[in-house]
Structure 1
């Protein structure tokens, strides 16, 4: 069978869920030739794609600044690519990349939606404007609109996206990379944890970059409430912007009197290793599309506590705890219940770990995701 050439256009290859899915898709898909254009400068996933043989071109646009000259450069790249199909990622790439692909004569254009909703209080006005512009042109530009979750599909239909073109393809994961391994907290992470005595308390973690949608304030407020119950714990926070240079985050930690219970790791590369060290993973988001970190933790046998943001409920099922968004009291109660079970009901906890692991194996493999993308691209 002849290979199709798929040109992916993405706003950035920085630290984010869409960028991670794009990278997994391109590096695992062996049926097609995948080429990536990033509108911005090289970032987190650039080297990983290139090291796996994927051609990556960076247009080095300045954030928030699209110029006529820049758009013309993008048009020329699309025109010269001789791609069979263009797959765009995120709103700006959907609109500008999709429209320019059409102008370049490419008929097979596919958009990708990663947000479950557009919270006007936590989303840039420019992003909301572009999303609504996409809605107006969704009948004409894309052949299909791929959504990461059913909630994302329904919320975008609600703002005017053309329903007949919308389909759902859930994220998939490389289970040869994300799986349970035996680790010794005190030996493997000893340098990172500065010899902290982690044996005496459960180790909680949250992986997520510092953005309003991740709602770190919600998490820290919940942990403050948890501390008042004389519940012992320690939490590590990882992700872009989650480090000791982030004064706003440090101020929050100090405000909630958690300085002795929180460690900031910043961005990490070996997520499977971290997930295997955690006793449980928590996600405090107010808004999500398809939260990858939940599936990645569960694939490693790490139970999750999460807000009902995006597809969190679909991912967790009956394997963990789900609470409303923006409710630190409920989140604190759920973490407390998880810690209680972890400490006092080992048999039940081990069963929960197996249920979480099996749920990802049964529903979210990378092979299923790739097959679904190929079916859309080639039909």
Structure 2
């Protein structure tokens, strides 16, 4: 989402630089290469060098008007730097599940400490209504918390990207439906729930195959491979790893599924809806409000409900399918267009500086 905001921000009016607390990663390199925006790295790995890193970050931010944090750790750092330099501070909230079994204890601790500090921040941007509600319950201030949803490029993600090459690449028969899941390997993405439900669905029918895409979603991931073997779905599940052709995969799938135990306002749902692909999602974060009446929602961590919903969807008639996916794309265009979202960010920047 950060990349999309930067890509569409008015660079003649706003001078932007990005600071990563760790390394550049995939998107840091992409921001520099594609957008010509400088990305600086702090490589904060150990507590012993934290003071020197804070000083380094202060020097980088000395001439800026606004310091914006994106996630919990960055929010805390932006607070320290912003207060020391007397700058305007914006935080970002993109999370709705802070359970101990799905998050690191340090993440939970920092998230809650930020709640105590939030009343001293100029604005807190929640990416969805549920995300805002969750954080208000753990102590975040209400008066400065606003909702700006994630936005989507509906030209980049479009039904026009649909390609039969996807089925050919993975040798999927034309009479089989393609189910797509896009997410990194992370406890919150609940791959156990997903694979278990696929195993149940395999016991009901044999007219589908599944594409799993994301960081560390490959055959070197022994935990994932063992999970697939335990549920006897090796013959219908394909591990694609990280891909650069997500718009094509989204449009070429028949169904997009999200099995997460915790989310904020997932980009992948909006991208799938914009691509004309039917969505089945778990009821976490703002997923249900995103799909509205143009998708299906099941409880989190309920593999049986997930499998049963997929079984029903795979039997949906063509007319109903087309009506619902067209409605879903129109919903994204009307409510989550990236240009309108970026405009809200720019209006906020102007209001804080003026």
Query: Which residue of 2 is the match for residue 10 of structure 1?
Result: none
Query: Which residue of 1 is the match for residue 336 of structure 2?
Result: 364
In 1, Cα distance between equivalents of 2:29 and 2:186? 24
Matched position secondary structure for 2:69: strand
1:175–1:63 CA distance, 2 compared to 1 (3 A): farther
In 1, Cα distance between equivalents of 2:318 and 2:85? 60
Query: Which residue of 1 is the match for residue 97 of structure 2?
Result: 117
1:349–1:41 CA distance, 2 compared to 1 (3 A): same
Gaps of at least 5 residues in structure 1 are: 1-20
In 1, Cα distance between equivalents of 2:47 and 2:292? 38
Matches within 5 A, 1:85-124: 85-106=66-87, 108-124=88-104
Query: Which residue of 1 is the match for residue 313 of structure 2?
Result: 338
* Pairing 1:143–2:143 present: no
Query: Which residue of 2 is the match for residue 130 of structure 1?
Result: 110
Query: Which residue of 2 is the match for residue 190 of structure 1?
Result: 168
1:71–1:121 CA distance, 2 compared to 1 (3 A): same
In 1, Cα distance between equivalents of 2:322 and 2:288? 21
Matches within 5 A, 1:277-288: 277-288=252-263
TM-score by length of 1: 0.89
Query: Which residue of 1 is the match for residue 280 of structure 2?
Result: 305
Matched position secondary structure for 2:312: helix
**Shift of residue 117, structure 1, vs aligned partner:** 2.8
Give a deviation string over 1:240-266, Cα, whole Å, max 9, x none. Answer: 011111000000000000000100000
**Shift of residue 64, structure 1, vs aligned partner:** 7.9
CA RMSD, 1 decimal: 1.5
Query: Which residue of 1 is the match for residue 20 of structure 2?
Result: 38
Give a deviation string over 1:105-164, Cα, whole Å, max 9, x none. Answer: 21x110001101311211100001101110111112x10100001111111111111111
In 2, Cα distance between equivalents of 1:240 and 1:48? 16
Matched position secondary structure for 1:32: coil
1:248–1:279 CA distance, 2 compared to 1 (3 A): same
Matched position secondary structure for 1:350: helix
Matched position secondary structure for 2:158: coil
Matched position secondary structure for 1:89: coil
* Pairing 1:261–2:236 present: yes
Question: Does the Cα contact within 8 Å between 1:303 and 1:353 map onto a contact in 2?
Answer: yes
Aligned residues: 348
* Pairing 1:375–2:313 present: no
Aligned mate of 1:350, from 308, 319, 322: 322
In 2, Cα distance between equivalents of 1:132 and 1:66? 24
In 2, Cα distance between equivalents of 1:252 and 1:198? 25
TM-score by length of 2: 0.95
Matched position secondary structure for 1:109: strand
1:128–1:182 CA distance, 2 compared to 1 (3 A): closer
Gaps of at least 5 residues in structure 2 are: none
In 2, Cα distance between equivalents of 1:63 and 1:258? 41
